Amino acid sequence: MSLFTGAGVAIVTPMHEDGSVNYEKLQQLIDFQVEGGTDSIIICGTTGESATLSEQEHIDVIRAAVEFTDHRIPVIAGTGSNSTDTAIYLTKEAEKAGADGALVVTPYYNKATQKGLIRHYTEIAKNTSLPIIMYNVGSRTGINIEAATAATLGKTVDNIVAIKEASGNISQIATLMQLAEGSLDLYSGNDDQIVPILSLGGIGVISVFSNICPKQSHDIVAEFLAGNTAESCRLQLDALPLIHALFCEVNPIPVKCAMNILGMEAGPLRLPLTEIEPQHTDLLRAEIAAYEAKIGSKLGFAK
């Protein structure tokens, strides 16, 4: 059975002005997501600034997300690391906390070989009963999970069940789905490629866009899977200008800015991420307003 079908939110980690985690706001954001139709909470991923959370904060935030979600939808914990031992530790802690699955990014900086990736993911999977989603995002990690490697892992390791594909390489993703022969669920890791990846057999997206547009992100997937491909495509294309604005600087700088514009109080970023450039704030304001006009409703907490 799939961990989830639809749109899962790669949720931000809201911060107080002093940089500490704002757990009260995290609970409010999770409630907003559940009420908005999000199909899964993905906590402590890239968008959640996991790279600048201490190990204890990382575990505490996962525990809080599980508590706040309260079994309404699945919680998938980001537990990847460039150290296999650390990834095993974080995955074990996520399992203890009650997470429903783990999202495990490739080991960044080390630049493991494909053989190393197979060993890395296999060792993590051996140490947990959680279902694992591999995360392929070479633009951040400097390493690509090749199609044959992903297919091998999906076929040979029982609890490696899915891949979040953010390589942007549609040809590679098509080859992966051909080689995997149904052994892996496929999620889009890019908000501007939801429909193309669904067309290759994907079952959803792990989304930054969902932080401010949970219903709209959910509907893109739901319409496609219901057979309404033209409507799904229209929704995807309508959202593209705002999606592009949400990536005008490195994620999660723009999405936190967008949430703050909308009064969602996501708070500041932790260094080395810095606050957005003024011209990009203006761009986000313009694209939010244009998208609200297009869909005929307000975003964020506005009713």
| Cα–Cα nearest to 124, from 161, 153, 163, 84 | 84
In 10 A of CB 203, how many CB atoms?
20
Q: Is 303's pLDDT higher than 60? A: no
Token code pair at residue 284: 């986000």
Instruction: Write out pLDDT tens, residues 103-154.
Output: 999 999 999 999 999 999 999 999 999 999 999 999 999 999 999 999 999 9
SS3 for 42-67, per residue? EECCCCCCHHHCCHHHHHHHHHHHHH
Q: What is the rounded average pLDDT for all residues in the chain?
A: 97
d(CA 143, CA 69): 33
Fold of 6-226: TIM Barrel (3.20.20)
Q: Is 164 a catalytic residue?
A: yes
Note whether 74 and 42 are within 8 A (CB): no
Instruction: Write out pLDDT tens, residues 228-252.
Output: 999 999 999 999 999 999 999 999 9
Instruction: Check residue 302 and give its pLDDT.
Output: 65
Instruction: Check residue 182 and give its pLDDT.
Output: 96
Q: Is 135 a catalytic residue?
A: yes
Contacts of 192 by beta carbon, 8 Å cutoff, 6+ apart: 236, 240, 243, 244
> What is the percent of the chain with per-residue pLDDT over 90, rounded to a whole number?
98
From the list 23, 25, 96, 135, the catalytic residue is 135
Q: Which residues pair with 77 in a beta bridge?
A: 43, 102
SS3 for 178-208, per residue? HHHCCCCEEEECCHHHHHHHHHCCCCEEEEC
Q: Is 1's pLDDT higher than 90? A: no
Instruction: Check residue 2 and give its pLDDT.
Output: 86
d(CA 243, CA 90): 31
Contacts of 180 by beta carbon, 8 Å cutoff, 6+ apart: 150, 151, 154, 155
Q: Is 262's pLDDT higher than 90? A: yes
d(CA 129, CA 228): 36
What's the pTM value of the predicted model, to 2 decimals?
Answer: 0.96
Report the run of H or E that residue 240 belongs to, with start and end.
Answer: helix 229-245
d(CA 285, CA 261): 7
Instruction: Check residue 191 and give its pLDDT.
Output: 98
